[in-house]
């Protein structure tokens, strides 16, 4: 098998997509991952990297377009790294995500479990309620936007099609402010300069907007002028804050915020649960699709008012609290203390009296509850991308709940954990997907497990 060489030009027929959204073609049987390729394309591609078992290339010319290829509405794609599938027909994108979840179950769990429902939005654009714009300088001018793929070079982007349209006006005001007043911009190479990021958050139900400027320092010069300009530009702004991050790190936010104007938090409502959001709060970025995902999880939980529910990896408690009215008792476990405090406060402010939240690693919490005699009827699992530790799944199975509802942001780890749960006597019986991140390669899933 001839291995493609770096800088070689290949003609390839794209056959499938990777989990990251690159096309897959073959050169004399050798796998080539092609950035910008869609299944059905015939392309000319430039090889940029070769490995022992695959090569990476990028499209230089489309010789024959895929029937799934559509006109790209974003002038910055693919220079900006925010989207992976901007040129694909959205129905095809959703079908590919559905197929990827089913394939993960077949390949990693040895299970043929069809996705019973693929939840999709009315529109694949303007769905995000949060944007984090890195700020940089280029040729003496301020650049605010998003990172180019696999780099820390900022691509100037005033109006991202994934963000609310009103964010664009705020970005323009902020850029003009920085340029007019000569406020310095942070340089990660030297650790010098003041302004690092512009962070925007919107409550989709309330309409309130939070503006946060991330600083490599304590004070923003001419802050009063910025407040006047922002509040004049957008009457929905309810909070303007500074976040202080002086660490030499790629982490966007520091641990401390200062209010310049307005409230410390904005309000929103998700699945009937009223929430308050600061810059540091965890919250799903797609409000409407998060509601549909959680509603599907509640359907799988099938609560009647008699059940005790254990919510592991509960975060700020929203999944469990959205189901609390249907449960006899709700217990939530989360390792991040601030999230536990948010969950307790949210329960109190929503009048939920049958919920208890405690701080602890999911593995330790599951073991502690088991040793304490806890016997939940329903267990909710919503782990990070790496999935659940084997010890967590073993402890959950030993509690012998009637049902396990598993929300996942990674099909591969969900399928792996499905195989593990099956070995503990729990079979996956229903599987649904929700596209919370259209135009990207990500997909969320919710799976119901029952004792077998």
The CATH number of whichever domain residue 58 belongs to comes to 2.40.50.140
User: Does 45 reside within a domain?
Assistant: yes
The answer to whether residue 217 scores a pLDDT higher than 90 is yes
Q: Are residues 156 and 253 in the same domain?
A: yes
Task: Choose the final residue of a domain: 257, 277, 297.
Answer: 277
What tens digit of pLDDT does each residue of 424-452 get?
A: 999 999 999 999 999 999 999 999 999 99
Angle between helical axes of 411-423 and 90-104 (0-180°, round to 10): 30
Q: Are residues 382 and 311 in the same domain?
A: yes
Hey, how many other C-beta atoms are within 10 angstroms of the C-beta on 219?
Answer: 10
Q: pTM for this one?
A: 0.94
**Taking CA 113 as the corner, what is the angle to CA 107 and CA 118, rounded to the nearest 5 degrees?**
105
Q: Are residues 242 and 118 in the same domain?
A: no
Residues 232-242 have a mean pLDDT of: 98
Q: How much is the pLDDT for 371?
A: 83
Q: Are residues 31 and 110 in the same domain?
A: no
Q: Are residues 136 and 225 in the same domain?
A: yes
Q: Are residues 261 and 140 in the same domain?
A: yes
User: Does 306 reside within a domain?
Assistant: yes
- Our count of domains for the chain comes to 3
User: Does 79 reside within a domain?
Assistant: no
382 is in an annotated binding site: yes
CATH number of the domain enclosing 249: 2.40.50.1070
406 is in an annotated binding site: no
Q: Are residues 109 and 197 in the same domain?
A: no
Task: Choose the final residue of a domain: 277, 303, 334.
Answer: 277
User: Does 80 reside within a domain?
Assistant: no
Q: Are residues 118 and 184 in the same domain?
A: no
Distance CA 13, CA 241 (A): 50
Distance CA 321, CA 324 (A): 5
The residue ranges of DSSP E strands in 115-233, in sequence order, are 117-119, 130-138, 141-147, 154-156, 195-202, 209-215
User: Does 86 reside within a domain?
Assistant: no
CATH number of the domain enclosing 104: 3.40.50.150
pLDDT band at 224 (very low <50, low <70, confident <90, very high): very high
Q: Are residues 393 and 323 in the same domain?
A: yes
Report the catalytic residues.
409
284 is in an annotated binding site: yes
Task: Choose the final residue of a domain: 277, 303, 336.
Answer: 277
Q: Are residues 165 and 296 in the same domain?
A: no
Q: Are residues 104 and 173 in the same domain?
A: no
User: Does 89 reside within a domain?
Assistant: no
Q: How much is the pLDDT for 279?
A: 97
pLDDT band at 1 (very low <50, low <70, confident <90, very high): low
- Strands 308-312, 378-381: pairing is parallel
Hey, how many other C-beta atoms are within 10 angstroms of the C-beta on 223?
Answer: 17
Range of the domain at 264: 130-277
pLDDT band at 315 (very low <50, low <70, confident <90, very high): very high
Distance CA 156, CA 146 (A): 7
User: Does 255 reside within a domain?
Assistant: yes
Residue 130 neighbours by CB under 8 Å, 6+ apart: 199, 200, 201, 202, 283, 285
Q: Are residues 219 and 323 in the same domain?
A: no
What tens digit of pLDDT does each residue of 298-311 get?
A: 999 999 999 999 99
Residues 349-355 have a mean pLDDT of: 98
179 is in an annotated binding site: no
User: Does 3 reside within a domain?
Assistant: no
Hey, how many other C-beta atoms are within 10 angstroms of the C-beta on 261?
Answer: 17
The answer to whether residue 365 scores a pLDDT higher than 90 is no
């Amino acid at each position: 098998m001839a291995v493609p060489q770096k800088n070689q030009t290949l003609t390839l027929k794209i056959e499938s997509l990777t989990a990251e959204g690159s096309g897959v073609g073959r050169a004399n049987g050798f796998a080539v991952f092609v950035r910008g390729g869609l299944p059905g394309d015939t392309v000319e591609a430039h090889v940029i990297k070769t490995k022992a078992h695959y090569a990476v290339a990028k499209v230089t010319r489309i010789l024959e377009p895929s029937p799934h290829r559509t006109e790209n509405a974003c002038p910055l794609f693919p220079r900006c790294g925010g989207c992976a599938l901007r040129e694909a027909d959205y129905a095809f994108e959703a079908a590919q995500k559905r197929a990827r979840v089913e394939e993960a179950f077949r390949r990693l769990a040895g299970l043929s479990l069809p996705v019973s429902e693929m939840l999709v939005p009315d529109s694949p654009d303007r769905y995000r309620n949060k944007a984090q714009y890195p700020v940089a300088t280029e040729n003496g001018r301020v650049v605010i936007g998003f990172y180019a793929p696999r780099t820390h070079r900022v691509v100037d982007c005033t109006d991202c099609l994934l963000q609310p349209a009103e964010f664009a006006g705020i970005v323009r005001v902020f850029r003009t402010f920085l340029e007019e007043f000569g406020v310095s911009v942070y340089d990660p190479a030297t650790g010098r300069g003041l302004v690092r990021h512009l962070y925007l958050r919107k409550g989709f139900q309330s309409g309130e907007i939070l503006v946060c400027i991330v600083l490599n320092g304590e004070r923003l010069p001419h802050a009063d002028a910025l407040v006047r300009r922002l509040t004049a530009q957008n009457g929905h702004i309810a909070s303007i804050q500074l976040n202080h991050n002086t660490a030499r790190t790629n982490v966007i936010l520091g641990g401390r915020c200062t209010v310049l104007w307005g409230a410390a938090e904005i309000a929103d409502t998700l699945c009937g649960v009223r929430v308050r959001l600061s810059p540091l709060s965890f919250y799903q970025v797609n409000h409407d699709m998060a509601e549909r995902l959680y509603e599907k999880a509640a359907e799988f939980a099938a609560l009647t008012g008699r059940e005790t529910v254990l919510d592991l990896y509960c975060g700020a408690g929203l999944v469990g609290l959205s189901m609390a009215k249907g449960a006899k008792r709700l217990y939530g476990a989360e390792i991040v203390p601030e999230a536990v405090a948010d969950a307790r406060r949210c329960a109190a402010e929503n009048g939920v009296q049958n919920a208890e939240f405690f701080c602890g690693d999911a593995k330790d919490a599951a073991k502690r509850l088991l040793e304490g005699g806890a016997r939940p009827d329903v267990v909710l699992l919503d782990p990070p991308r790496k999935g659940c530790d084997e010890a967590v799944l073993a402890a959950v199975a030993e509690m012998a709940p009637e049902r396990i509802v598993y929300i996942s942001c990674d099909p591969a780890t969900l399928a792996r954990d499905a195989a593990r749960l099956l070995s503990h006597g729990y079979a996956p019986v229903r599987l649904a997907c929700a596209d919370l991140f259209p135009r990207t390669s990500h997909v969320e899933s919710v799976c119901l497990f029952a004792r077998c």
